[in-house]
Structure formats: structure tokens, C-alpha cells
Amino acid sequence: MLNRLTAKAATTDALTISGLSVAYGDKPALNAVDARFSAGAMSAIVGPNGAGKSTLLKAAMGMIPSIDGTVRFLGEPLSAVRRRVAYVPQRLSVDWDFPATVIDVVLMGLYGRLGAFAWIGQKERQEALACLKEVDLDDLADRQIGQLSGGQQQRVFIARALAQNADLLILDEPLAGVDAATERLIVALLRRLAGEGRAVIAVHHDLSTVREYYDDVLILNGATIANGSVEAAFTEANLARAYGGRLTAGPLAPTGARA
Amino acid sequence: MALYLGLTLVPILIGSLAAVSCALLGNFLVLRRQSLMGDAISHVVLPGIVAAFVLTGSMSAIPMLLGAAAAALLAAAMIEIVRVYGKVEPGAAMGVVFTALFAFGIVLLEQTDTGSIHFDVEHALYGNLESLVWLAGIEWAALIDPIALSDIPPQLPRLAMALVVVVGFLAVAWRPLVISTFDPTFAAAAGVPVRLVNAGLIILVAMVSVTAFEAVGAIIAIAMLICPPAAARMMTDRLLPQIAWSVAFAILAAAGGYVAAGAGVALFVEGVAVSAAGMIATVAGVTLLLAAAFGPRRKGAKA
């Protein structure tokens, strides 16, 4: 798989968004957004609350309708490469009181490969357990998901994405509301995946850690403010344009948690 | 004892089939926080059922299902019209349309006094389980007598068919249904046919509401959609055991409710029996109450 990926990476981006526009009713949410994300890199999407970060990901994945624009995943339309793309929704978008165990959720990641009918046997359970080991949760495989802490729940979601064995991982706020140990674990894991040649794209909130965690960045505020390497794009001037007066102390200012 | 088969066992079986079909689907409605979907559907389908009855003069299943489907489509269109032109929030639009259609169904029902077939407002509201007896099946020998068998209330095979369809749907759509119930965003991204599964679930809820309404009434069917699964959720933290518990609770409510209502006796002694459907829903409600008070996995119980 890595061979295929490196061959492709030379010619195409992992995710290319061109002129993507979205409106909720008659209220515009995204205005002709252009963005490119490379394979083998870890990219952040940052922007103020209501900038359309989650909307951009959902519209790109076709989960909400867009007015205009084209999106290419690994150089293809999503339908052609769906199994190579893993999406991790916001942790609080699901009901964790659902009657399922940790390993049940991770096994959902095998849907793309197994489809609706293929039997889940010992081999698949071992695979899921290996993914749980990566996030240090293999001891809790049979625990009901509602009994986990927020950080542990986020790690279950990451393990499910690992089970998808995707070349492109898209994560909506993977570090929201997690403890410091979980944050370190998730970042190290994602960096390793990017190091293997995969593309990792994450909506990120803490501007103070962008330089440390990410290679590339998209600064968004309804439209593309800047997109490129952190070095080139993550500048005071660009952040001021995106956040306006709300950012008073430069990129080190803490930002409020997103609702 | 011989009276047992035709006068008690057959109505209990019909009630149980209806309750189990409702409860199976209800598990997913409750987990999706769409419990009131069953309520809404059972309100909306009434005018469709009555219209089908008026047009065809029979209570056979196919026209009724078509009528119910037409009414559901009409409701969806009306909700959209009220929402857009009435400038009210969706919840208000739904409340207005569901209630208006249900009221219209009742008025329509009052106007259709055909006399030949028993079908009136009470029938629609809480069914007529007591009348679904198998008079030819008084002796056990009737079970192998083709003439007696042909006299079995048609609701029995109809509800058995409905249960087969429900079980078949759950078996075929199990994995997509579970994934899209737990995490619809992930499901859509992973290529799970979320819309197809959602539509299948709602269509089956409508089908079961229509077939169950003859036995327990459109309104009492709601209790069967919600109470057994909600009670079952408090007994376990696993989905399959939850579904097994909900089936057990549904049968308990149907059989326990029917017996408690003394419905079998009512044919011979006036005034001692209460509505079987009402009693079934009451037993279901009491089960839920007990599960909420003592269930091992209720909120606040130590895990």
C-alpha cells in the first residue's frame, strides 16, 4: 500500500478542495474555499468558532450538500476511494450510553472491508484488539463505552479509524476535551501515521500547539485565509485576518472550546 | 381447560406477535432518540387506514398499508408546507399536522358506519383483542382440522408475517443499522447506506403499526414500541441481550395484560373485564417502572 501511495503522492495531493461553497438556508457558511493537503504530512484546520471547519469536512465528504466546488480524495472522487479514507467525528456527536463495548465500536471500522454481511471472527477481533493496543486500551476491550472517560472515548474513535487502515485520516477535533496524557498519545500516533506516508488532517483549536504538532495548516474563516506549511502560512498577520480582534495576544492566546 | 386454546391462547398469541414486532423495532427507535416517531406514525396512518377501508370496504392488509403510506407522504408534505408558510418551528408543524390528520381520521371513521364490519373509534384507538378468538378452536383436535383452522382470525397469520418481515430486516440490515444508529456521521463517511437503512426502519415501523393496530389499537401500539425496549435497556449494557429482554418484556406484557384483564371471562360474564389492550399497555408501563427502579443498568446504578 505504501508503494502505491508514494507513487501517487508525487503527482497528487491527499485532499484537494477547489471552490467549495456551502450555505445553510440563505446564510453562506463557506465561500469558494480552496485547500490542498499533502500525503505524508499532518495538517491542521484552524479558525474562529463558526469559521466552518466542521462544515468544510462534512461538505467535502458529501455529508452536507454544497452549492459549488470540486473535491478530490487521493486524486479521485470520494466514491472511488472511500475505503482508503477514515473519518473521525467529534466525540460528543454520538450517544456514549449506547449499549456497545469498546471492541464493538472498533470493529465498526472494518465495515468498509467486510461490508454488511461478512462474518466477524477471531481474526477480526485480533485486528481490533491490535488497534486498541495502539491507543493503550486493550485492557478495556469488553468495557461498556459509557463507562470510559472522555479521553478514553476519543481513543476508541482513533482505534476505529486505525482499523480502517486508511491512507487519509480526517479528524474533527480529536483533541477536544481530552487529558494531557491522551493528547500526547494521540499526537504521537498521528505523527507516526503521517511518517508512514499517510495524510492526517485534523480540526484543531489550541493555536499554541500548532507549530509543535503540525506540518501544514489551513486557516479558515468562511473562506481560505491561508494554506500551506506552518512556517509559511501560520503567521501573525494571517491569524489576525482570520480571528480579527478576538485574538489579542498573538498565536499563543488560548481559545475557548468549541460548542 | 379446553376453552383455553381458542378463547385465550389465540388472542394472547396475536397480542404477543404484535408486541414482539413493535418491541424489536422499538429498540432502535429508543436508541436513536426517535421514540416518538412511532407515536407520530400511528397518528398519521389512521386517516389512511380509514380511507382505504372506505374505498375497498375490507380490512385486508395491502390496501390498508397503501393507505397508511399515502397518509404518511401527505403528512410529510403538509409538515413542510406548514413549516415554510406558517413560519413555525418544525416541532410545532409536526404537532399540528399529526393531530389534525388523526382528528380527521376519527371524523372520517364516524362517517363510515357500514355496519357489516366492526370498525369504530374505540376499535382504532385500543383495538379489539377480545374479539379475536378462535371459536372453532375450542378443542385441541381443531389444530389438525383444516376446516377449523380456516376459521383462525386472519390477524394471526398477518401478524406472524409482519414478525417474519421484521426479523428478516433486522437480520439483513443488522450491521448497517447498528452502525448508523450509534454514529450516523461515521456511518455515512464509511459508506454505510444510512438513508436506505433509516427509510427501511421507518417503513417497517409504519407497517407494524398498521398490522398491530387491529389487535391492540393504533395508540396502544406506541406502548409496545417504547416500553419493552426502554425497560430492556436498564437490564443490560449489550445490544443483543437488550433485544432479548425487550422480547421477553413484550410477551410478558401481552400475556400478562390479557390474563389480568380477565378478557376470556368477559364473553360470558358482563362487567368483570377491562380492556385487554389497555391492560397490556399498563403491564408494559409497570414493567418499565420496575426496571427503572430496580434494573441493574439503570442510570445511577453502580456498574
Query: For residue A70, is pLDDT > 80?
Result: yes
**Confidence (pLDDT) at B271:** 56
**Confidence (pLDDT) at A146:** 94
Model pLDDT for residues A88-141, shown as the tens digit of each residue: 999 999 999 999 999 999 999 999 999 888 889 999 999 999 999 999 999 999
**Confidence (pLDDT) at B1:** 42
Contact: B182, A95; criterion CB under 8 Å: yes
Question: Which residues are within 8 A (CB) of A153 and not within 5 positions of it... i.e. 6 or more apart?
Answer: A91, A96, A145
Chain A residues 93-152 with a CB less than 8 Å from chain B: 93-95, 98-101, 104-105, 108-109, 111-112, 116-117, 144, 146-147
- Interface confidence (ipTM) of the complex: 0.88
**Confidence (pLDDT) at B40:** 82
**Burial profile B72-99: b = 16 or more Cβ within 10 angstroms, e = fewer:** beebeebbeebbeeeeeeeeebbebbbe
Task: Using an 8 Å CB-CB cutoff, list chain B residues near A93.
Answer: 183, 185
Question: Which residues are within 8 A (CB) of B192 and not within 5 positions of it... i.e. 6 or more apart?
Answer: A111, B176, B179, B180
Nearest to B189 among A61, A104, A147 (CB): A61
**Confidence (pLDDT) at A9:** 45
What superfamily in CATH does domain A2-93+166-252 come from?
P-loop containing nucleotide triphosphate hydrolases (3.40.50.300)
Identify the bridge partners of residue A24 per DSSP, sorted by sequence position: A27
Query: What whole-number distance in Å separates Cα of residue A22 and Cα of residue A31?
Result: 7
**Confidence (pLDDT) at B129:** 81
* Domain ranges (residues) in chain A: 2-93+166-252
Task: Using an 8 Å CB-CB cutoff, list chain A residues near B188.
Answer: 61-63
Amino acid identity for residue A22 in this structure: V
Closest CA to B7 of B292, B267, B276, B206: B267
Confidence of residue A163 (pLDDT cuts 50, 70, 90): very high
Look at B162 and B93; give whichever has higher pLDDT: B162
Q: Any chain A CB within 8 A of the CB of B145? A: no
Query: For residue B207, is pLDDT > 60?
Result: yes
Query: For residue B175, is pLDDT > 50?
Result: yes
**Confidence (pLDDT) at B187:** 96
A 10 A CB-CB count for A244 gives: 10
Contact: A99, B237; criterion CB under 8 Å: yes
Q: Any chain B CB within 8 A of the CB of A87? A: yes
Chain B residues 158-177 with a CB less than 8 Å from chain A: 172-176
Residue of A nearest to B243 (CA): A99
- In the numeric block, the cell 377501508 is attached to B53
Sign of CA dihedral B196, A203, A17, A243: positive
Q: Any chain A CB within 8 A of the CB of B192? A: yes
**Confidence (pLDDT) at A198:** 95
Query: What whole-number distance in Å separates Cα of residue B291 and Cα of residue B228?
Result: 10
**Confidence (pLDDT) at A227:** 96
**Confidence (pLDDT) at B149:** 81
Q: Any chain B CB within 8 A of the CB of A228? A: no
Model pLDDT for residues B212-268, shown as the tens digit of each residue: 877 777 667 888 999 999 999 999 999 999 999 999 999 999 999 888 887 555 555
Mean pLDDT score, A76-87: 95
Q: How far is A116 from chain B (nearest CA, A)?
A: 6
Query: What whole-number distance in Å separates Cα of residue B169 and Cα of residue A113?
Result: 22
Identify the bridge partners of residue A170 per DSSP, sorted by sequence position: A87, A201
What are the structural domains, with CATH classification, of chain B? 3-294 (1.10.3470.10)
Lowest mean pLDDT among A220-229, B42-51, B179-188, B238-247: B42-51
Contact: A108, B191; criterion CB under 8 Å: no
Question: Which residues are within 8 A (CB) of B51 and not within 5 positions of it... i.e. 6 or more apart?
Answer: B67, B70, B71, B108
Mean pLDDT score, B148-154: 82
Question: Residues B142, B148: contact at Cβ < 8 Å?
Answer: yes
Query: What whole-number distance in Å separates Cα of residue B210 and Cα of residue B194?
Result: 24
Query: What whole-number distance in Å separates Cα of residue A253 and Cα of residue A8?
Result: 38
Task: Using an 8 Å CB-CB cutoff, list chain A residues near B173.
Answer: 116
- H helices present in chain B, as ranges: 3, 10-31, 35-56, 61-86, 90-110, 121-126, 146-149, 155-182, 184-189, 194-216, 220-233, 239-260, 263-266, 276-294
Mean pLDDT score, B144-157: 83
A 10 A CB-CB count for B140 gives: 12
Confidence of residue A80 (pLDDT cuts 50, 70, 90): very high
Query: For residue A18, is pLDDT > 70?
Result: yes
